[in-house]
Amino acid sequence: MKVADGVWRPLFSTLVLVFCLSFFPGGSSDLVSDKLTLVNLQRDLGGRALRWNLSLDSPCSWLGVTCRSGGVTELRLPGAGISGELPLGIGNLTKLEKLSLRFNALSGSVPSDIAKLALSELHLEGNFFSGPLPEFLFDMKSLVRINLGENHFSGEISPRFSNLTKLVVLYLENNRFTGSIPELDLPTLEQFNVSFNQLNGSIPEKLSGLPANSFEGNSLCGKPLKPCNGAEIVDKKKKKLSGGAVAGIVIGCVVLLLFILAILLFFFRIKSRGEKGSKEMTAKSTEHGIHNAKSRIDNDNSSADYSSSSAAAAKANAKKSGGNRSLVFFGNAVRVFDLEDLLRASAEVLGKGTFGTAYKASLEMGAAVAVKRLKEATVPEKEFREKMEEVGRLNHENLVLLRAYYFSRDEKLLVYDYMPMGSLSALLHGNSGAGRTPLNWETRSGIALGAAYGIEYLHSQGPFSSHGNIKSSNILLTRSYEARVSDFGLAHLASSNSTPHRIDGYRAPEVTDPHKVSLKADVYSFGVLLLELLTGKPPTHSQLNEEGVDLPKWVQSVVREEWTAEVFDLELLRYQNVEEEMVELLQLALECTMQYPDKRPSMAEVTKRIEELCRSSSHREDNVMNESYFGTEEGI
């Protein structure tokens, strides 16, 4: 019997466990399935922006993932830098209640299998989704909050929204919707916005009690906007135009058309002449359009002001030195342009930095690249080329990658990916007028994390792989506000007198030679950058700072007086639910800007702590939204 007991007892225990699990629907099997679905999602979206630790058995600790009842119930990936078309598969997260993919760069249509989910919240705003709204949306009767704003959705707004009887929030602004607003019967609706579409007609009576800014940017009339009567009178007057007025309009259009044709013919002839002499002119200057743009902001610098005679001299020098008049490319990318294409490109000045002037070069084939023209790069050719090879090998999603370079005795050009949203400095300080878009906590913390990832990667390349020039104008942004670190690897190429005082506000106190910046000095500069994000103030000697505030000292003095709230940018104080995370980031910034280098954390530690507070703020935001929209229903 003892042997029999030894055989049957484990088997009996297993049967009991299986029997018990059968009373709990889903259980761990749901998490296994959900993890597989999320892994496939990461793979289909490129896997670069979703930094999930796939070695963990459960996805519940991944950033943006919340679990309850043995399955994934919330997926929140706002501002994560993901792009492309959203694949099928999310519908396999059978317990998902809340989906937020806002402020990314997703495009195409919304996948149809989302219809299988009992979602209460759907946030897709700030992407590039297009086409008409999917019909399955109007059958998802558990939806309470929908935000589809700032996309490219088109077509008419369907009256079937009235099917969603639980709807409290409906945002459709900044799309391409046409037609009129239908009569919507939504008894629980509290927030509604269709501003800046292509809508016309009158506003339905049931929506007339909403604020006027819910409808602005359209051709709408009626309460709360202007009455429709005035618009009808104007329309009648337009219909009653006299025959003479119609004839005058026709004659005017014909004259205008002939004038436009004459202008086009004139420019066509000029272009034809220019093409005949293009071969003679390609060596006339190492910049062409780039130089012309630069001369408008740098005409006081005679060493950078090329006349036709000095261009000819540059050409002669290149021949004497055996200079190679071609771009040196990195990676395996297809060479879709060459040096002559770059020199013929139209140029737009992006900014004048520590090491030279940057331009946007619009190539004839339609693509755009950023070109930096180095000023006073005094190192020998061999050392320059070796440094460029070193920089060109660096490859990380949070760096502005060096695609190609050109070297001659008189000109040194670097070609980078073009970042359409500009720099963090411009975003923070460039527009303080009424039209400024507030920079929220979610975006700022995401930028801080992306920049930290990029700098940590640089530091991982060796003990002498510091950036050397970290500042907000060197943090560039993608369309989804993901940070890209630029200007790395250039600090020791410039002469000692070419590093202006305007970066002193970011420079660690121990740095005396701008060409020799340690990793911990980089941490100090990054700490100043964090303070700039939190306070909205540029540091001392910044081109934008007229107050002369030494940012670390000012923040330390305010915190010592226990007035911490006075430190934060007023735009951030509106987000009261993330005050704890804001204070944590402020404390980290102060640790980074400690006077003694050995008291500063490493970039690896800095990145880890920013990751943790981003995760914490995401969870806190979710809890606040739960209380706001489900508090009464759940008895909270």
Provide the annotated binding site for ATP: 372
In the block, residue with structure tokens 């619009």:
362
Quote the DSSP letter at residue 301.
Answer: -
CA distances (Å), 133 to each of 31, 88, 105, in order? 31, 17, 18
The answer to whether residues 118 and 99 touch, using CB atoms and an 8 Å cutoff, is no
> CA-CA distances (angstroms) from residue 14 to 2, 17, 21, 122, 151?
19, 5, 11, 41, 52
Between CA 292 and CA 283 the distance in angstroms is 15
Dihedral, CA of residue 224, residue 226, residue 229 and residue 231, to nearest 10: -130
Contact 70, 28 (CB under 8 A): yes
- List the beta bridge partners of residue 373: 357, 413
SS3 content of the chain, % helix, strand, coil (to 5): 45, 15, 40
CA–CA dist 395, 607 (Å, integer): 18
Annotated binding site: 372
C-alpha to C-alpha distance for 9 and 249, rounded to whole angstroms: 97
Q: Phi and psi dihedrals of 146, rounded to 5?
A: -125, 130
8 A C-beta contact, residue 538 and residue 505: yes
**Token digits of residue 61:** 């600790």
Neighbours of 432 (CB within 10 A): 9
Q: How many other C-beta atoms lie within 10 A of the C-beta of residue 583?
A: 17
Q: How far apart are CA 429 and CA 155, in angstroms?
A: 37
Judged by DSSP in three states, 118 sits in: coil
Q: How does DSSP assign 179-195, residue by residue?
A: E-------TT--EEE--
Look at residues 636, 619, 630 and name the one whose alpha carbon lies nearest to residue 168. 630
Residue-level length of the chain: 636
| Spatial separation of the C-alpha atoms in residues 563 and 634, rounded to whole Å | 38
Q: E-assigned strands of 322-383? A: 328-329, 346-352, 356-362, 368-374
Can you give the C-alpha Rg of the chain in angstroms? 30
The DSSP code for 205 is G
Beta strand extents in 363-423 (DSSP E only)? 368-374, 402-407, 412-417
Give alpha helix (H) positions in 356-471: 381-392, 424-429, 441-459
Q: Match 């996805």 to its residue by tokens.
A: 59
**What phi and psi, each to the nearest 5 degrees, are found at residue 198?**
-125, 45
Strand 105-108 relative to strand 83-85: parallel, antiparallel, unpaired?
Answer: parallel
Say if residue 101 is exposed, middle or buried (CB neighbours under 10 Å; 0-12, 13-18, 19+): buried
- Residue 510: HSE in the Cβ half-sphere, 13 Å Cα cutoff: 16
Q: Is the dihedral of CA 103, 109, 113, 116 positive or negative?
A: positive
Contact 599, 441 (CB under 8 A): no
For 197, list phi and psi in degrees, rounded to 5. -120, -155
